Amino acid sequence: METKGLVLVVEDDPAIADLVCRYLRRDGFGVQVETDGRGALAAVRRLRPVAVVLDVGLPVLDGIEVCRTMRTGGDWTPVLFVTARDDEVDRVLGLELGADDYVTKPFSPRELVARIRTVLRRAGGEPAAGGTLEVGRTRLDLGARRVWSGDAEVALTSTEFDLLAHLMRRPGQVFERAQLLSAVWGYSAAAGTRTVDVHIAALRSKLGEGSPIRTVRGVGYAADPAGSSC
């Protein structure tokens, strides 16, 4: 039976790797497991997976370095981090490097599979209708899925692009975190809205001083031509 594609699972804990594999196979994916970072990079180049489930705390070469090497080499295969480090700095760093999403241990394998499906739909979806969005110094080409901050083009993940586009389609409108989680990720608020904050932080870091994202404390976020505030 034809699968939905091969997912590379990079995890050095055999019990976790086995659990993730069983749920992925049950959902129709093929699976390849690697237990360290160097093996992961070799498998990415050899197998061309549709997505990578990447543990941060790997031996030999950690997940952050694996993702960094992939992105600097021009490989934008969707990456979902799995981490035991419930530390915002680690998560923001991973997203700045180009991870598409993350889950924190312990996690629900069903939720992990659902997030992989969401990332793949976003990465392989139909191109948006042509046209551009512009707020302040930030400009998006919707058809080509390209972004500029001033004159400099900025590389974003599919998730980051969709989040920024959602905000920029309605300049000045304030979106609650739960609204963004539902619209961009397709998750309910029960999944937790911290993901939104982490991706906003990564977007601001990439867009620099030209970021149009404004925080409305106690409410959520908006794209504001006047500029960003933290």
Which residue range forms the structural domain that includes residue 187?
A: 132-223
Residue percentage of the chain with pLDDT more than 90 = 41
Whether residue 56 sits in one domain with residue 148: no
Q: What is the mean pLDDT of residues 211-218?
A: 91
pLDDT digits (tens, 9 = 90+) for 153-184: 999 888 889 899 999 988 888 999 888 887 78
pLDDT at 94: 67
- 229 within a domain of the structure (yes/no): no
DSSP state for residue 65 in the 8-state scheme: H
- pTM: predicted TM-score of the whole model, two decimal places: 0.65
Domain count of the fold of the chain:
2
Residue 142 has pLDDT above 90, yes or no: no
pLDDT at 225: 76
Cβ density class 199-213: b for 16+ within 10 Å, e for less:
bbbbbbebbeebbbb
- 228 within a domain of the structure (yes/no): no
Residue 127 has pLDDT above 60, yes or no: no
Q: What is the mean pLDDT of residues 63-82?
A: 89
The residues near 102 (Cβ < 8 Å, ≥ 6 apart) are 80, 81, 82, 83, 91, 94, 95, 195, 198
pLDDT digits (tens, 9 = 90+) for 87-126: 655 666 667 777 888 888 888 899 899 989 888 887 765 4
Which among 62, 93, 124 is the end of a domain?
A: 124
- 191 within a domain of the structure (yes/no): yes
- 230 within a domain of the structure (yes/no): no
Instruction: With beta carbons less than 8 A apart as the criterion, state whether 51 and 45 touch.
Output: no
